[in-house]
Structures are given as C-alpha cells and as structure tokens.
Structure 1
C-alpha cells in the first residue's frame, strides 16, 4: 500500500529535475511550490483510504498541510481527482481541477488553468486528460470530453470538445491547428507499467 504512494510521489518528483532520492526530494520540496502541494495532496488521497491502517492523526496532519498550501498557492485540486503519476505543476496560482476529472501520466499544467465539470448540456461531466498532455497558462478545459495523449493545449485556449491525440489546440474558441502535439514540451517523463 504505502509503496504505491511513494512510487507516485517519486514519479512526481522526477518530473521536476529528472532525479529522485533524498537530496532531490529535499531541494524540490523546499524550492518548488507545485511539488510541495502535490506531495500533500497525494498523502491526503492515500490516508483518506487507509485511515484505519495508518491512524487518524496521519490523515489529519497531512490534510492540514494540504489545506495550508492549497490556500497559500491557489491550487484548487481535490485529492479525490484521479491524477496519474508524474504530475508537473509549472507555476503556482489559480489552478482549478474538478474532483471528477481524470488526468493520465506525465501531465504538465501551468498557472491559471481550469479543468472543470459542467452540469448541463450534452457534455455534462468532467474531462479526461490522457498521458503526456501539456496544458498552457490560463487554458480552460470543460465538460465530459477527452484530451488525447500527447496533445498540447496552448495558453488561453478554451476547449469543450474531444481533442485528438498528437494535436495542438489554440484559441478561444479552441481549434485544432497542428498535428505536432506535445513533443518536446513534456520533459523528464516517467515510465510506468500499464
């Protein structure tokens, strides 16, 4: 159980500098707000499932740290969102991800992004973001849509439609403008089974 938590945290850590280990953990924890927040978000998600095994104190302590960094950095990302290993948060401020969203492995997100659910219309629900997707600053992705693997959502794009794999979406309203995708944008990718 706990080994899967540390595998995921190490995958997140690796995305920042291409290293793991205690020295990389300490320097990244101290210097990178996105990693520090993600660390506590992962722990809250884990301890909420295993409170009886690890104790209520561990859950409450990590929940308090998560809430502190949530407000300090402006990350509104629920621990109940399904977020794969290798999450990279490039800058802090104004990040909103629906608790019902699904994010794959090696996803990059920037400041000001919203990945939100809609409650009406044909796309009622939350987005699924597949592996190796790069999402630029102030992009908005809403509704029960799928952003295909290796896609790039440009800064400021508004996306409420399915995005094919290996494409670039630009503008508001968003349009697919290229088939070059996120190649070269998603660095220090982690390899995982499955």
Structure 2
C-alpha cells in the first residue's frame, strides 16, 4: 500500500478499490470526495508559490460552496473520510490521525484560554459523529468513537466510546468496529 498516494488512500475508504487518476476524477461528483481531493492538492502544493496560491483559491471557493472549513495547514493522516456533506469546522492547528471519519456539523476547535489552551490532537481510527464538538489542547486516543452531539474538552484514552454533554468515557475494546471500514 505504500506506493499509493494519499488521495488514493482517502478514496479507497469510500470505494474499497484502488482507483486511477481518471477514476478519482469521476468520483469527484460526490461533494465530500471532491472537497477531500481539493484539500489534498492544496496540502501537496503548500510550498510551491504559484501552485500554492492557485490551490488555496480553489480550496477557498469549495470551502464556501460545500461548508467545509478545513485548511491545508491542518495535519490529516491518510484514509480521511467525510461522512456527509454539510457544515464542518476544523482548526488549522489540529492534528488528525489515519483512518478517521468525521460527520456533518462537527467542530474541532481551539481554546484560547484556560488549562486546555490550544488545539486537539486526534489519534488513528477515530469516528466523530454528527454535531460533536472537540475543543482545546486535548488528546483523543486511537480507536475512539465520539457519539453524535457529544462535547469533549478533556483527554480521551484509546479504546473508548465518548457520549453526552457533559461527556462520559466508556472503555470499549472494539469501539470503532463497524464504524471505521476499509482501513488503509
């Protein structure tokens, strides 16, 4: 799998097939996949002046069109999957691991004061449900399922389910089984 590009790995999560460039373009009719493609191109060309400006402009257009506020500075591992089209905000200082799913309405934000000042670090194989909020310099472990509408402003250990507002942690060995499919 190491020979495949990060874009191919992202698209594999959706189709469970390794796609050619033409096949990837055909899949871009889906707004979620189209945005991920544009985001990855903006990330790829961050250090090249003209292409950086071009892809940032294209990304900005699609941020407004699709309602995804994710920036090229955000560090996102391979196998990134946006489950649904709709409002989504991720702070550019956030770090997201491999094979993560994020649903619509999610906010992953920075906290500007207090003991958790900063942005989240999210591990591998994390599923974040609709309208969940994760704020502050918190660490979310690997294999974590964050239930829709949960508010998380504290560290979450690996192998956990998080639910509620205020959120509670339930240790679960197979927290994301059936939620994180087609891992790369």
Q: TM-score band (shorter)?
A: over 0.9
Alpha-carbon distance, 1:67 to partner:
1.4
> Which runs of structure 2 are paired with 1:39-50 in the superposition (5 Å)?
39-50=37-48
In the alignment, what sits opposite 2:14? 16
Note the C-alpha offset of 1:178.
4.3
2:58 aligned with 1:60:
no
State the Cα distance separating 1:26 from its structure 2 match.
3.0
Deviation at 1:156, TM superposition (A): 0.3
Which residue is 2:136 aligned to?
A: 143
The whole-number CA distance in structure 1 between the counterparts of 2:23 and 2:145 is 28
Q: Which runs of 5+ in 2 are unaligned?
A: none
Write out per-residue CA displacement over residues 67-122 of structure 1, whole angstroms, 9 at most, x where no aligned residue. 12111110001110111111000111110000000000000000000010101010
Inter-partner Cα distance in structure 2 for 1:34 and 1:26: 13
More displaced stretch, 37-46 vs 59-68: 59-68
Q: Deviations over 1:38-86 (max 9, x none)?
A: 11111112212133xxxx1x33332232112111110001110111111
Tell me whether 1:90 sits opposite 2:89 in the alignment: no
Alpha-carbon shift at residue 24 of structure 1 (Å): 3.8
Query: In the TM superposition, what whole-angstrom CA distance separates every residue of 1:119-169 from its partner, at most 9, and x where no partner exists?
Result: 101011000000000000000000101111000000000000111111100
Q: After superposition, what is the alpha-carbon deviation per residue over 1:5-34, rounded to whole angstroms, capped at 9, x for unaligned?
A: x7111111111111122354133211x211
Larger relative helix fraction: 1
Distance in 2 separating the partners of 1:60 and 1:126: 26
Q: TM-score, normalised by structure 1?
A: 0.88
Whole-Å separation in 2 of the counterparts to 1:74 and 1:145:
25
Return the match for 1:187 from 166, 181, 184: 181
SS of the residue corresponding to residue 70 of structure 1 reads helix
Look up the match of 2:24: 25
User: When the two structures are aligned, how many residues end up with a matched partner?
Assistant: 180
Rounded to whole Å, the distance in 2 between the matches of 1:12 and 1:70 is 18
